[in-house]
A and B are shown apart, each in its own frame.
Chain A
Amino acid sequence: MTTAQAAAAPVVRLENVVRRFSDRPALDDISLTLARGEIVGLIGRSGAGKSTLIRCLNGLDRPQAGRVVIDGTDISTLSEQALNPVRRRIGMIFQHFNLLSAKTVAQNVALPLKIAGVEKAARLRRVMELLDLVGLADKADMYPAQLSGGQKQRIGIARALAPEPLLLLSDEATSALDPETTQSILNLLGDVNRQLGLTILMITHEMEVVRQIAHRVLVLDAGRIVEEGPVARVLASPQTDTTRSLLRGLSPVLPADLAARIAPQGDQALIRVDVYGPAARRPLLAEIEAITGRPARLVHGGLNDVQGEPYGRLFLALGTGDPALVGAVTARLQPETTAIEVLGYVPSDI
């Protein structure tokens, strides 16, 4: 294998992985790859199989069928002993941090290095480097119980990064944190990804986490990957009910009083337009006005962004109820948008 090929080779490749608990499959024929330097969000409801999947990646759990290939090595059949060198190259952070209460912050961060047989002086140097990276160098001699949740997770991250891992697994790492702390942890993970080119797999049940940090998203439901793709595409036009329900609260919904006034006939048509990427930058209202001759109005909705890429959902009142004109508008916008739907007709005074 040439160097270029090695760089392009996936860090993780799962092939038809099956894991059953008694009779219920937790993972049902999962195949996926993680490319080097990628942040991938793995989202699903609780019980979807997310934790089982992440545990299969470092051999804490074994699939009954299929292959788990980490950096070219199939680990699904390795003995516990043979697994250890592979595990030392995979960092992991946890929802409840899992720091050792009997060890100081510095000793916690040093543990993976001790396990890897790094000598004491080098260990101390690396620990201080990492504590600097996560901004907690002054807490080296404290115990985890003396830290806040966000600080504990920073220590967890420092510990996971200590052996310069190839892959970072994040198991609901921000689920126990408040929104502000979540933000700072996500920023830290983003920085680490950019600075070290670290591949990160983020397990979460919060689409907001995926939106903020992931490049790509996999939606897991009942042990199967039901949807995957670039985050902006999935957010803008979810293809499955699972994804849509995970997006609830994140994509705008028409207010109830407005929705109640929608009728099959009326003064003007109300349409829903889902856009992302270049389509979200178009002067949609002006384009509609050019077709109908009447000013269209934004009734509800808005744009958001995912890693600089705009996406959003707009509810537009067209100013006309003429079926021919409405048809012309949808026909004109259809190719540019990810989804367009005529919801019905509303009075002109809304």
Chain B
Amino acid sequence: MSPQTFDFLLGWAMTRPMFDLLLRGIWETVVMTGISGALSFVIGLPLALVLVTTDRGGIFQNLWINRSLGGLVNALRSVPFIILLVAVIPLTRLIVGSAIGIAAAIVPLTLAAAPYFARVAEVSLREVDRALIDAARAMGATRATILREVLIPEALPGIVSGFTVTMVTLIGASAMAGAVGAGGLGDIAIRYGYQRFETAVMVAVVVILIVMVSIMQWAGDALARRIDHR
């Protein structure tokens, strides 16, 4: 679709600069949720594995580690995101050298999403039948092998679904990142749609968000179905 056609389609409501603004917003949202999503996966999955395997009866049972990590996860999850966003500013400054911008938003987004994903993944990991782990132990599997060959592959469809939910939540949360000047679609909706009463912009942002969430959910469901052989 050429820009002219697009202008024609949205011409009644939107100017060329506004269109560019929205494009930038989409890009910023994709970058923020993409990077913080990836980081949440990399941090959250091992966290979930530790939470499951160190619990009572787990293959690495260690209740001290389990309760401490569980407490930390609960603590992070109980802070409302908008509070977390400003509360971690010193930490953000320490990590990315600045407290504003996309990179600055990724720190609180990850801090919120990683524990969330860890809990969601933990549920899937706990659903793996204990008898399968016993079967692997009976074969003489080491604990690392049990993680690699049994626990993770058997829980994977659920983990993928859980990650999809996490990503959708992240898209929502990233809208608040405007508070630290990170931009993104949410920021545009607030500044133009709400504060300047440009309803068309508000509607456009909401529609774009619906499309992004739908694509994410559809892709996640398709992947989960593909790897689920239960």
Contact = CB atoms under 8 A, between A and B. Distances in A.
Query: Are these two chains actual partners, yes or no?
Result: yes
Interface of A: 58, 60, 81, 83-88, 90, 92, 94, 96, 98, 100-103, 111-112, 114-116, 143-145, 163, 169
B135 interface: yes
Contacts of B7: none
Given A100-B153, A101-B229, A88 B139 contact: yes
A96 B153 contact: no
Contact of A94 (B135, B141, B153): B135
Contact of A92 (B129, B138, B149, B153): B138
Interface of B: 129, 131-132, 134-142, 145, 149-150, 153-154, 156, 227, 229-230
A87 B140 contact: yes
B132 A100 contact: yes
A305 B107 CA distance: 75
10 contacts: A84-B140, A85-B140, A90-B138, A98-B134, A102-B154, A102-B156, A103-B149, A111-B136, A111-B141, A163-B139
Contacts of A111: 136, 139, 141, 149
Contacts of A101: 154, 229-230
Contacts of A92: 135, 138-139
Closest 10 CB pairs of A and B: A87-B140, A88-B140, A102-B153, A143-B229, A84-B140, A98-B135, A101-B230, A112-B139, A92-B138, A115-B141
B153 A98 contact: no
B119 to A, nearest CB: 22
B121 to A, nearest CB: 15
A223 to B, nearest CB: 21
Nearest to B132: A98
Nearest to A57: B138
Nearest to A162: B139
B229 A102 contact: yes
B131 A87 contact: no
A157 to B, nearest CB: 13
Q: By CB atoms of chain A within 10 A, which of B129, B138, B149, B230 has the most?
A: B138
Contact of B138 (A87, A102, A114, A116): A87
A115 B132 contact: no
Contact of A114 (B137, B149, B227): B149
Contacts of B138: 58, 60, 87, 90, 92, 169
Q: By CB atoms of chain A within 10 A, which of B140, B142, B149, B156 has the most?
A: B140
B154 A87 contact: no
A88 B137 CA distance: 9
B137 A60 contact: yes
A103 B145 CA distance: 14
A88 B141 CA distance: 8
Contacts of A100: 132, 149-150, 153-154
Nearest to B145: A115
Contacts of A163: 139
Nearest to B149: A111
B140 A145 contact: no
Given A60-B138, A101-B230, A115-B142, 16 more contacts: A58-B138, A60-B137, A81-B142, A83-B140, A84-B140, A85-B140, A87-B140, A98-B131, A100-B150, A100-B154, A102-B154, A111-B136, A111-B139, A115-B139, A115-B140, A116-B140
